[in-house]
A and B are shown apart, each in its own frame.
Chain A
Amino acid sequence: MTAVEDPTSTTAPEAPANQVGQARLRKEDARLITGATTWTDNMVLPGMLHLSVLRSPVAHARISHLDVSAAQQRPNVVAVYTGQDFAEEQGSIPCAWPVTADMVNPGHPSVAVDQVNHVGEAVAVVVARSRSAAADALEAIDIDYESLPVVLDMEEAVQEGADLVHSHTSSNTSYHFVFDAGEAGTGADTDQAFADAEVTVSRRFVQQRLIPAFMEPRSVVVQPQGDNFTMWSATQIPHVLRVMLAMVTGIPEHKLRVIAPDVGGGFGGKLQVCPEEVLALLIARRLGKPVKWTETRSESLMAAHHGRDQVQFIDVAADREGNLKGLRVRLLAGMGAYLRLITPGVPALGAFMFPGIYKFPAYRFECDGVFTNKVPTDAYRGAGRPEATFAIERIMDELAVELGMDPLELRRKNWINAEEFPFTTVAGLEYDSGDYGAATDQALELVGYDELRAEQQRRRESNDPVQLGIGFSTFTEMCGLAPSRVLGSLSYGAGGWESASIRMLPTGKVEVVTGSTPHGQGHETAWSQIVADQLGVPFEDVEVLHGDTAISPRGMDTYGSRSLVVGGTAVVKAAEKVVAKARRIAAHLLEASEDDLEFTGGTFSVKGTPGTGVGIQEVALAVFAAHNYPEGIEPSIDAEATFDPVNFSFPHGTHICAMEVDTDTGFVKIRKYACVDDVGTIVNPMIVEGQMHGGLAQGISQALYEEAIYDAEGNLTTGTFVDYLLPSAADLPHFDTGNTVHPAPGNPLGAKGVGEAGCIASTPAVVNAALDAVRHLGVTDIRMPLTPERVWRAIHTGGDGGDRATAGTNAYGGASTESTAGVSTDASSLGGDR
């Protein structure tokens, strides 16, 4: 026991009282940004084969002829598989969220068997000894398609007699989901509220399709070893994936290990059981050889799931004084051609957030999930909540105009006041804590509101070609997904708990095993800060393990701003158990009663006798040696905890955007952006700031830049980053960010979640700002994204700017301008791997 002096003596000065709250640099960044980690595509296994996927160049067709024999003869080709080869064993991509009992799920083959339903759908897979050989052999596959009518427009798709995406269904509607506050007992009758209303405003908003443009492409490696399989995948959800793959393929769950190594972003786009993951597993099983598949960026844009895609019909009712009376929401939600993991659940998750921060007495929500011949939609940063926030924050501005009220005054009049928390909303949610007024006041100051309004006035009076507008978004979101019982009541196929365990190593170092699998968020740093505080050990002494179902067997992974709120709390609970177990050992070693011990700064000491004590890291060595510990207990202070929240958490904030609109060209430029967010207690301010910046960029990008566009034949026109525009730092303004802190009452960290806040809040603030700049010119709406052409047309010819031309740009060095930038036309028979 002599060695135990050292850890204690070095621990004390290195462990400041509180790591939580400090802007610690991220532990993981050095390896992530210097290429010192092993991304999935870097994996090389002996004898590994490479997959390349042939993808449908047509949106809706029967496969009338498919001959792979020539491709099989190509050099270094090992096998070529079609849907027929896997028809019996591939099952369906799972959908874990049947939102209604009668939801129609047509089934989703991983590789099309006899019919394709969207451009980019897999129709054959080449297995070859090199990636380039696999790509080359795609050209030798002979395939013919017999065209079927293409279903693209949701409003047409739901009409009686419309062409069907799936001929074996009776309509293109997958489900009709309703939440009615009157029926649920959380509000008054909505129809009555509208019948009695003095003022009603109705709008149709379009949530365009977005593509989750994660930096690292999807990639999967599968290694078969006897009847065991190990899969490495660039996924957000190794734990969920393992369960689902076991169910789909019949490989017993305990024979399947899934590893998400360091993963380069996801934004919901890797919250999926991908067809290619299933195919890689089936092919590795069939060949008994390791295989790798890594998508090209073009494949990623056309075949990985998209996000958003809603047509929103929003009605709001109020009295002349601006008191809200009712809200009615009807959605057409684009499913795409199939239902993937939580495709139908995304709009349903949003159902509860349309009332926003306001006290509506009545509310009704209806949503039709609609099939089209497009790639399926699914989670994308915010998943349902950005759509809801956009609708409510936009309609509040429209109502303010109708009433002749200041948009902020209208909001203040109707939002939940600080003293009213916890507040049960008309949607039945219990909002936990916050102060909307305080965040708003701080944001107004940050942005320099009065000065901006004065400038806006000057520009209007001088008829300046550059007009200025100011837009608000006073938002809240539902985070910390999720209380398992609530998920059950919504028919979701799993729980929302999270798991953590803590292993105390003999030298006093600490391994924290988390079920929250990060894909860039910085969990290792934040979890280390939490554990350093809980156990009183140095930040550097904590290692966080994750992402491997063999190392971290239980988990629900990372999405829905849940990691810190749920996973971080599990870490706290595990640490509390470690301390409790260590206390018994320490009492034994100190020959004192447990009740007489206090634990501070990592040391157990007898109350009133300073200087005598034993460090928790010493205790770790003591139980390792196990020479001297109390009778009747195990020689271990390791512990595990599972946390299941009882409520969501509700971050909120006020975002203010000041926008310049060049009325000559329609070009919009953000002049200033300020936001004050309440994300509860902040563990690492730098990570929070980073999450806000990234989220803002994505939310602003929905407002101004991004849109996945299909042409009339169902080709993805925006098939490269030349046509699918993403902003860079050069295109974004400086962000003035601030925080108010009202700790979440539902977890010991007080954290509310921050991963999606910026993305959810910013989009309506940006659009509201642009409209505020040009509303005096007669503009009442502009479709997202606010391309210069749309803004210009809205100003000069009225309307919302309308559809964009569907030809791809001709600016890609010869990529055909005619139809689809060469991604997937009839003419480019090469189809997929490019």
Chain B
Amino acid sequence: MIPAAFAYARPTTVDEALQAIADGGEDVKVLAGGQSLIPVMRLRLAAPETVVDLTRVAELRGVREEGDVLVVGAMTTHSDVLADPLLAQYGQLLVQATETVADRQVRHRGTFGGALAHADPAGDLPAVALALDAEFVLVGPSGRRTVPASEFFVDYLTTALEEGELLVEIRLPKLGSEWGVRYEKFNRVAQAWSIVAVAAAVRREGGRIAEARIGLTNMGSTPLRATATEAALLGADVSLEAVTAAAALAADGTSPSSDLNAQADYRQHLARVLTRRALSAATGL
């Protein structure tokens, strides 16, 4: 549990951070809380040449609003997320999911951007970002670009981040009072990773569902959208029957992994059950 030797840089601005990454050699890892990176370094599954620690880059921390959008700094900790008044008002899905992340100690150090850039499909926040069609703002040597969530998560632990690039902020749509949300997580003990989880946001108009956004955690090598379920809900009555029928489609097109906690068919079953529960809660059934 002793990491291999590495060089360490602790920049205080984004520009300094980009420079440190550029100067860091062949294998640079960005430390954005370290709740996943440090364990794999201790296990020597990762042995980076340089670690660039973003903890002191103050400009990357905090939440602000820009019109209909919430802008969350990549280094905003999970604890910050849970305490933020804007997120409390417009970001309940993210807040609910963040509440289930690991334990208090991890939430105090771990960051929203770090969890997204790590792109662990068992992590809770990628599915939330995907469900909300978040936008990822990346800066790098060649400037600044914005990547939609649907393109950000490329594969297992792989994102659209290019070499030398940094995730600086995440742009989330504000969800107003017409939205109901629920993060339904299934795990064996409180601090464990999700076996499967479902992030659901539903907008109601009258007695009908006007829009449904459903993200699936740990149902493949990346977070997924339950697109068949979303389509089935469009314009549907807010009823248990409609929700149940739509939820039965939640695992369509998924090919989840098999591991100690669940084999693939059981994961698919859980996705259907949890989607039904998440939708029921989100629609107030």
Binding site for B on A (CB under 8 A): 131-132, 135-136, 296-298, 664-665, 667, 705, 709, 717-718, 720, 722-723, 725-728, 730-731, 787-789, 792-793, 804-817, 822, 828, 830, 833-834
Determine the chain A residues whose CB is within 8 A of the CB of B257 once the complex forms. Answer: 807, 810, 817
Q: CB within 8 Å of A: which of B109-162?
A: 118, 120-123, 156-157
Given A815-B45, A830-B44: A809 and B122 interface contact (C-beta under 8 Å): yes
Q: Interface size (B, Cβ < 8 Å)? A: 44
Do A725 and B192 have beta carbons less than 8 Å apart?
A: yes
- Residue in contact with B260 in the complex, picked from A132, A726, A807, A816, CB distance below 8 Å: A807
Closest 6 CB pairs between A and B? A813-B36, A811-B193, A811-B122, A730-B190, A296-B1, A135-B2
Residue among A297, A705, A789, A792 with max Cβ neighbours from chain B (10 Å): A789
| B188 and A705 form a contact (CB under 8 A) | yes
B236-285, CB < 8 A from A = 257-263, 266, 269-270, 273-274
Inter-chain contact B259/A809, CB cutoff 8 Å: yes
**Are A789 and B192 in contact, with the CB atoms below 8 A?**
no
Chain B contacts for A726, CB-based, 8 A: 189
Distance (Å) between the CB of B37 and the closest chain A CB? 7
B270 touches A809 (CB 8 A): no
Flag if B259 contacts A807 (CB, 8 Å).
yes
- Say which residue of A132, A788, A814 sits within 8 Å of B188 (CB atoms): A788
Are A789 and B261 in contact, CB atoms less than 8 angstroms apart? yes
Question: For residue B262, which residue of chain A has the nearest CB?
Answer: A789
Encode B178-206 as 1/0 by CB contact (under 8 A) with A: 00000000101111111100000000000
User: Is the Cβ of A813 less than 8 Å from the Cβ of B40?
Assistant: yes
Q: Report the minimal beta-carbon distance from A703 to chain B, rounded to whole angstroms.
A: 13
- In the complex, the chain B residue whose C-beta lies closest to that of A134 is B2
Residues of A contacting B4 with CB < 8 Å? 136
CA distance A833 to B43 in the complex (A): 9
* Interface 0/1 of B160-173, CB less than 8 Å to A: 00000000000000
Most B CB atoms within 10 A — which of A132, A665, A793, A807? Answer: A665
Contact mask for chain B residues 4-37; partner A; CB cutoff 8 A; 1 contact, 0 none: 1100000000000000000000000000000111
Task: Using CB atoms, name the residue of chain B closest to A813.
Answer: B36
A822 CA / B46 CA spacing, docked (Å): 11
CB distance from B223 to the nearest CB of A (A): 13
Choose among B35, B157, B260, B266 the residue that contacts A793 (Cβ–Cβ < 8 A). B266
Q: How far is the CA of A150 from the CA of B270 in the complex (A)?
A: 35
Query: Is A717 touching B45 in the complex (CB atoms < 8 A)?
Result: no
> Given contacts A709-B260, A805-B263, A807-B259, is CB(A815)–CB(B40) below 8 Å?
yes
Write the chain B residue with the least CB distance to A833.
B2
Q: Which residues of B contact A723 (CB under 8 A)?
A: 260
CA distance A296 to B44 in the complex (A): 13
A824 → B minimal CB distance (Å) = 11
Could you tell me the distance in whole angstroms from the C-beta of B220 to the nearest C-beta in chain A?
Answer: 11
CB of A792 within 8 A of CB of B269, answer yes
Chain B CB within 10 A, most for which of A132, A135, A726, A814: A814
The closest CB in chain B to the CB of A132 belongs to B2
Complex contact B42–A834 (CB within 8 A)? yes
A-B contact pairs, 12 of them (CB 8 A): A131-B2, A665-B274, A717-B260, A720-B43, A722-B193, A789-B262, A805-B259, A809-B193, A812-B39, A813-B36, A822-B43, A834-B43
Q: Which residues of B contact A731 (CB under 8 A)?
A: 189-190
Q: Which residues of A contact B79 (CB under 8 A)?
A: none
Nearest opposing residue in chain B for A729, CB measure: B190
Verify B191–A730 contact, CB threshold 8 A: yes
Taking a contact as CB atoms under 8 Å apart, the answer to whether B186 and A667 are in contact is yes
| Chain B residues whose CB sits within 8 angstroms of the CB of A136 once the complex forms | 2, 4-5
* Whole-angstrom distance between the Cβ of B222 and the nearest chain A Cβ: 12
Does B96 sit within 8 A of A, measured CB to CB? Answer: no
Is B218's beta carbon under 8 Å from chain A? yes
Are B36 and A814 in contact (CB-based, < 8 A)? yes
A816 to B269, CA, bound (A): 25
A723 to B195, CA, bound (A): 12
A711 to chain B, nearest CB (A): 10
- Tell me which residues across on chain B come within 8 A of A805, comparing CB atoms: 258-260, 262-263
Contact with B122, one of A132, A665, A718, A810 (Cβ below 8 angstroms) = A810
Q: Given contacts A136-B4, A727-B189, could you give 17 more A-B pairs where the C-beta distance is less than 8 Å?
A: A136-B2, A296-B1, A665-B186, A705-B188, A720-B43, A726-B189, A728-B189, A730-B190, A806-B260, A807-B257, A808-B259, A809-B122, A809-B260, A811-B193, A811-B218, A813-B120, A817-B257
Partner of B157, one of A728, A789, A814: A814
CB pair A810–B39 under 8 Å, yes or no, is: no
Say whether A813 contacts B37, CB under 8 Å.
yes
- A705 neighbours in B (Cβ, 8 Å): 188-189
B269 cross-chain contacts in A, Cβ below 8 A: 792
Q: A807-B259, A817-B257, A830-B44 known; A789 and B122 CB under 8 Å?
A: no
Contact A808 B260 (CB under 8 A): yes
Q: B258 to chain A: which residues have CB within 8 Å? A: 805, 807
- Taking a contact as CB atoms under 8 Å apart, the answer to whether B266 and A814 are in contact is no
Asked if B260 contacts A804 (CB within 8 A), the reply is: yes
Closest to A812 in B: B39
Best-surrounded residue of B191, B257, B259, B262 (most CB of chain A within 10 A)? B259
Nearest B residue (CB) for A792: B266
Set B2, B42, B43, B120: member contacting A811, Cβ < 8 A = B120
Residues of A within 8 A of B45 (CB): 814-816, 822, 828
8 Å CB contact of B191 from A664, A728, A810: A728
Query: How far, in Å, is A169 (CB) from chain B's closest CB?
Result: 33
Nearest-neighbour CB distance to chain A for B252, whole angstroms, equals 19
- Residue on B with the closest CB to A217? B1
Cα–Cα, bound, A648→B189 (Å): 38
Give Cα A709–Cα B257 distance, bound, in whole angstroms. Answer: 18
| A806 surroundings in chain B (CB, below 8 A) | 260
The reply to whether A725 and B263 form a contact with Cβ atoms under 8 Å apart is: no
How long is the Cα–Cα vector from A792 to B266 in the complex, in angstroms? 8
Shortest beta-carbon distance, A16 to chain B, in Å? 41
Contacting residues, chain B, for A816 (C-beta < 8 A): 45
Q: List residues of chain A with CB within 8 A of the CB of B44.
A: 830, 834
Q: Is the CB of A725 within 8 A of B122?
A: no
Kindly state the separation between the CA atoms of A402 and B18 in the bound complex, as whole angstroms.
Answer: 72
A725 x B189 contact (CB < 8 A): yes
A728: chain B residues at CB < 8 Å are: 103, 189-191
- Interface readout for B27-67 with A: 1 if CB under 8 Å, 0 if not? 00000000111011011111000000000000000000000
B259 and A664 contact, CB distance less than 8 A = no
If A813-B120, A814-B40, A817-B257 touch, whether A787 touches B188 (CB-CB below 8 Å) is: yes
Cα separation A412 to B32 with both chains bound (whole Å): 61
CA distance A728 to B260 in the complex (A): 20
Interfacial chain B residues near A298, Cβ < 8 Å: 1, 43
How many whole Å from B151's CB to the nearest CB in chain A?
A: 21
In this complex, which of A805, A807, A830 has the most chain B Cβ atoms within 10 angstroms of its Cβ?
A805
A804 to B262, alpha carbons, bound, how many Å?
8
Please give, as numbers and ranges, the residues of chain B lying within 8 Å of A813 by CB-CB distance. Answer: 35-37, 39-40, 118, 120, 157
User: How many Å lie between the Cα of A811 and that of B122 in the bound state?
Assistant: 6
| Cα distance, A705 to B122, chains bound together (Å) | 19
CA distance A718 to B188 in the complex (A): 15
| Docked-complex contact A814 and B46, CB < 8 angstroms | yes
Give A719 Cβ to nearest chain B Cβ, in Å: 9
CA distance A271 to B200 in the complex (A): 51
Task: Select one of A131, A297, A809, A822 contacting B261, CB under 8 A.
Answer: A809
**Which residues of the other chain, A, contact B188 by a CB distance below 8 angstroms?**
705, 725, 787-788
By a CB distance below 8 angstroms, the chain A residues around B274 are 665
Closest A residue to B277 by CB, please name it: A664
Shortest distance from the beta carbon of A807 to any chain B beta carbon, whole Å:
4
Residue on A nearest B266 in the bound complex, by CB: A789
